[in-house]
Each structure stands twice: as C-alpha cells, then as structure tokens.
Amino acid sequence: MKAVTWHGKRDVRVEEVPDPSIKEPTDAIVQITSTAICGSDLHLYEVLGPFMGEGDVLGHEPMGIVEEVGAEVAHIKPGDRVVIPFNIACGRCHMCDRELYAQCETTQVRDHGMGAALFGYTKLYGEVPGGQAEYLRVPQAHFGPIKVPQGPPDERFLYLSDVLPTAWQAVQWADVPDGGTVAVFGLGPIGQMCARIARHLGYRVIGVEPVPERIAMAERHGVRVLDPGRVDAAAETIREMTGGRGADSVIDAVGMEAHGSPGAKLAQTVTGLLPDRAAAPLMSRAGIDRLAALHQAIEAVRRGGTISVIGVYGGMADPLPMLRMFDKGVTLRMGQAHVKRWVDDLMPLVTDEADPLGTEDLATHRLPLEQAPYGYEIFQKKQDGAVKVVLRP
C-alpha cells in the first residue's frame, strides 16, 4: 500500500510499504477514505525528529471502511464506516474506567514513561504505524473505532478522530462560567473549533491570531479576533475588553512553536541539528518550548480564572512565572484529549443537517495522498491559505 513516511526534518515521502494484517484478536483493518494532517504532525516535521524512526508511517486523524476484524471485535464489522480516535485505548483498564482514555494502562508506553499509545506519533508513544495510508491496522478495535452513519461527506465526521474532541475537552476544562468570556490563543484547526464550540455553548469568545486566513475563517463564524501584530499586547487588550479584569478562561491552542519566542526558537533549531542520539536526551530533559502564547495566556486570564492548555508542549524544564500564577490563583488544566469521553456530546452536532460547528468549513485543501509532501509544506509554512489539509488515499 501507499503511505506517508518520515525521513527527516521537513522530509516526508509517499512510499510503498507492506499492507497491514490482523495480528491480535482485538485488531481491525480499515481502508482509509480520508485522513488529515494535524498541527501536531508539524512538530514531527520540524522539532521532534529525534524521537522518529526512518520510514515511520505518519498520521493520527483517519476514517474509512472496515475491511476485516479480529475474533474479539464485535461492535463493528466489515463494511461499517468508522472514525479512528488518535489515542489507542482498551476501554476496560483502571484509567479507561475513569474515562481517562489518553492514559490507558493497557497501551501506556512505559519504556518512556508516557501515556497511551498514539497512531503515527514517535517512539515516545509506541511508534504505531499511522493513518496517512491506504490501510490501517487498528489495535484495541474492540473499543476504539467510532461507528458513523453512511451518507454525509467524510468531513462531517473526520474530525471526531482528534480535532473536535480535543477542542471540546479544551472548552470543558476551561471552566467558563455562564455568560463568561474565553480567550482562545491560536486559531489553527483546534483553536477554530474551540472558538466555535465556545460560541455554540453561549460564551463570549475572543480569538488571538496573526495569520490573515485564520482570522477570516474565525470571523466567518462570529469570533472577534485580535491580531497580536496589530495591538500592543493581546493580554492588555483583553483586559480592556473585560472591564480591566481579564478573561474568565483562556485556551492555549498554540503549544511549543509559538511565535514571539526567539530564544527558544534558536534552542529548538540548534537541538534539531544534533544527531538523534544526542538530541533526544537533551529534549527529554531541557526546556525547549516557545512559551510566548502561554505567558500571554497567564497575563490575559483574570484572577482566579482557568487556563486550558491544549497546544502540545515537549520540554521538561520550561520556566514558568510561578509567582504570577500563584498570586493570581490560576487554575491550569492540560493533557491529551480523551477522545471517546466526548463522542456522545459531539455526535448530535456532527449528525445535525445544519452542521452547527461548521465541520465542512475547516479544510482549506483536499489533496490526493500522493501530494502529502506538498500538504505538509504549505501547512507548516502557512502558505496558500492553508488552515487544514485533508488527504484522500
């Protein structure tokens, strides 16, 4: 089959790889019909190379048609249309019983001290072949796959794999009070959906984003957006918009590659030039994140407010303004999305003919799988108006 494989910094290729097969009775094989490039994939493309292996198959936002199932898989069958959550969970361990599926104890990558395995995402998360391919082997398929109805286009359901549950969790964990204000830093795909979900739930939303195409998309969905390049300081402006108090809640949907962090950007670049065997231990111990967005979030939130961090960070020794956070009494929540925890909340919205979250107005580029290298390049460089890229195997 054809698959998107990693070969180094900014070097992804579409190659022939062996077809997947059933290895365990809880496996399934899915023929992929749509698969997206995630902002987290760009971290592999740019920063997290030391944790990748040559030829690793990328991708963790797939959906398709079930081709084959193992003997212990009963809730789906060949021919069913399914979405595959990005985290791999068993559904029956201590953590899964508590709906903390991203911490599944059956698939935890204990060799690296990490949580549940993820599709297509580094040695740290199990080095499981990903879904940017024609076919995907799905472990723990007795629990993971989400069955969706036939009929509507893939994009109505595709984002249940990651974007929608990640954004829903970010808003839930932001703990916005009734009638409250939430500021969303970063209006990439996750930030866009955070803003739409927050508006759907009746909150006042302020977005912070410098990229014109992302600003325009958010404004189409009724979001007031601040361009940090056109205001003195986003946090100061947000305080002015909220009676001098600050936003009740802030969502950081940016993560480790925030603009406005030149020192950390240099550290990331230098680390990326090291051989993998030297860079990986350094990245595992050092503070290598660009923290501009998180620092702005801490300034923008009101006293006693909540910051929900959904952008991916990778440093182990990042400096935080602890005095400021303690003095303001800030609550900080973060973590990988527990995808299946939120599906029951989201399914009525994605099956609603009115498409209240605008799932069909997120992808800006729909490309054949063979054009994945181009898709990665324009997404990473924010070229050609790229906000979200969907691949069609």
Q: What percent of the chain has pLDDT over 90?
A: 80
Residues 289 and 317: their CA atoms lie apart, in Å, by 9
pTM of the model: 0.90
Tens digits of residue pLDDT in 124-183: 999 999 999 999 999 999 999 999 999 999 999 999 999 999 999 999 999 999 999 999
> pLDDT at position 268, please?
41
For residues 241-258, one letter each, b for 16 or more C-beta atoms within 10 angstroms of the residue's C-beta and e for the rest, the string is bbeeebbbbbbbbbbbbb
> pLDDT at position 319, please?
79
Q: Do residues 56 and 4 touch, judged by C-beta distance below 8 A? A: no
Give, in order, the Cα–Cα distances in Å from 95 to each of 39, 139, 232, 273, 358: 27, 17, 44, 38, 32
Lowest mean pLDDT among 37-51, 250-264, 304-318: 250-264
Burial class (CB in 10 A: 0-12, 13-18, 19+), 165: buried
> Please, which pLDDT band fits residue 257 given cuts at 50, 70 and 90?
low
> pLDDT at position 310, please?
93
Average pLDDT over residues 328-348: 97
Residues 169 and 165: their CA atoms lie apart, in Å, by 6
- Indicate if the pLDDT at residue 343 is higher than 50: yes
Tens digits of residue pLDDT in 207-249: 999 999 999 999 999 999 998 776 657 899 999 999 999 999 9
> pLDDT at position 320, please?
85
Q: What percent of the chain has pLDDT over 70?
A: 89
> pLDDT at position 317, please?
61
Q: Do residues 194 and 350 touch, judged by C-beta distance below 8 A? A: no
Would you say how long the chain is, in residues? 393
Tens digits of residue pLDDT in 359-372: 999 999 999 999 99
- Indicate if the pLDDT at residue 261 is higher than 60: no
Residues 68 and 53: their CA atoms lie apart, in Å, by 28
> pLDDT at position 293, please?
83
> Please, which pLDDT band fits residue 312 given cuts at 50, 70 and 90?
confident
- Indicate if the pLDDT at residue 385 is higher than 80: yes
Tell me which residue has tokens 């399934």.
28
Average pLDDT over residues 189-216: 97
Average pLDDT over residues 375-385: 95
Mean of all residue pLDDT scores within the chain? 90
- Indicate if the pLDDT at residue 282 is higher than 60: no
Neighbours of 153 (CB within 10 A): 10
> pLDDT at position 263, please?
41
> pLDDT at position 122, please?
86
Tens digits of residue pLDDT in 66-116: 999 999 999 999 999 999 999 999 999 999 999 999 999 999 999 999 999
> pLDDT at position 278, please?
44
